[in-house]
Amino acid sequence: MKQAIQAIAIPLFRNVTRFWFIVTYCGQLIFAYYILMLYYKSTVLGDFEKWNTASPHFYTKGDVVGNLIFGLHVALAAVVTILGPLQLVPKIRNKVPGIHRICGRIYIFSAFLISAAGLYLTWVRGAIGGPFSAIGISINGLIIIVCAFFAIRYAMQRNIKLHNQWAVHLLLAMSGVWLFRVFFMLWMVIHRAPVGFDPETFTGPFLNALAVFVYILPQAVVALYFKAKFSNSANKKLAFSLLLFVITIGTAVGTVGAISGMWLPRI
């Protein structure tokens, strides 16, 4: 009996993880497409007013520094969103290690820059949402910086096991803003109305809870993933597979909501 459960648990764990990866990467590629079509395209065409489609203060006439930093932020956003998940594909790492190393350096450098730019946008330029949102996303920025530091440090020390673990923590931290949009839209799909927050000020208990859910909780899920992966216990693998399956279904529905309700209408 124990052996039968073990025989189910290992492939289930592997396949649910792959399912999560495919759903997440497809969703992130569509987010990157949105960034390219909205921000890259309008920048190339010199139509900076178009930056204000999502929010009216992204392009502010006369604020050269603020505009440049926002431009840098969204320029890097597309790069990291496309590159990040590919770094975790074992086939790419093994077949073309040189590409993995070059992309890894670009990714880590971009992680530091995008977080620094994000902190500037949050605290100097001012963003929509209340202080809780500002603190939440800043914690996300700090988590990114810490994970990027350890991912590169262990890569340089050739400690591949720890490098890999920090890289997965980093990917989930870098996915925080994407997760925010996806789970925000999942909530909207479920309620079909702004429940638990004020759509004018973009503040409220739901948004506070969402910030914790997308910026902090994924780090615990990654820790659980490695616990289950390295454990001999079939039950741990089964329990984690179930948890990840539920998260993936929520992610898939939220992504469809974000595509139809947020990204496509803006481009």
- Catalog residues that contact ligand HEM under the rule CB under 6 A: 35, 54-55, 73-74, 77, 80-81, 114-115, 118-119, 121-122, 127-128, 137-138, 140-141, 144, 174, 177
Give the C-alpha separation, 195 to 135, whole Å.
Answer: 22
Helices 131-156 and 160-174, axial angle in degrees (round to 10): 160
Q: How many residues does the chain have?
A: 267
Give the helix ranges, DSSP H, for 157-233.
160-174, 176-191, 205-215, 217-230
CB 146 → ligand HEM: shortest distance, Å?
Answer: 12
Q: Please say which residue, 134 or 209, places its beta carbon nearer to ligand HEM.
A: 134
CB 167 → ligand HEM: shortest distance, Å?
Answer: 14
Give the C-alpha separation, 33 to 82, whole Å.
Answer: 9
CB 241 → ligand HEM: shortest distance, Å?
Answer: 27
Give the C-alpha separation, 10 to 238, whole Å.
Answer: 8
Q: What letter would DSSP give residue 47?
A: -
Q: Please say which residue, 77 or 168, places its beta carbon nearer to ligand HEM.
A: 77
Contact 34, 53 (CB under 8 A): no
Ramachandran bin of 96, using left for φ above 0, alpha for ψ from -120 to 50, beta for the remaining angles: beta
Minimal CB distance residue for ligand HEM: 118
CB 134 → ligand HEM: shortest distance, Å?
Answer: 8
Helices 217-230 and 160-174, axial angle in degrees (round to 10): 150
Q: Please say which residue, 141 or 254, places its beta carbon nearer to ligand HEM.
A: 141
CA distances from 173 to 87, 155, 255, 258, 263 (A): 15, 18, 18, 19, 21
Give the C-alpha separation, 140 to 210, whole Å.
Answer: 13
CB 38 → ligand HEM: shortest distance, Å?
Answer: 6
Q: Please say which residue, 6 or 138, places its beta carbon nearer to ligand HEM.
A: 138
CB 177 → ligand HEM: shortest distance, Å?
Answer: 4
Give the C-alpha separation, 212 to 7, whole Å.
Answer: 36
Q: Please say which residue, 13 or 70, places its beta carbon nearer to ligand HEM.
A: 70
Q: Please say which residue, 9 or 38, places its beta carbon nearer to ligand HEM.
A: 38
Q: Please say which residue, 137 or 238, places its beta carbon nearer to ligand HEM.
A: 137
CB 115 → ligand HEM: shortest distance, Å?
Answer: 4
Q: Please say which residue, 16 or 210, places its beta carbon nearer to ligand HEM.
A: 210
CB 68 → ligand HEM: shortest distance, Å?
Answer: 14
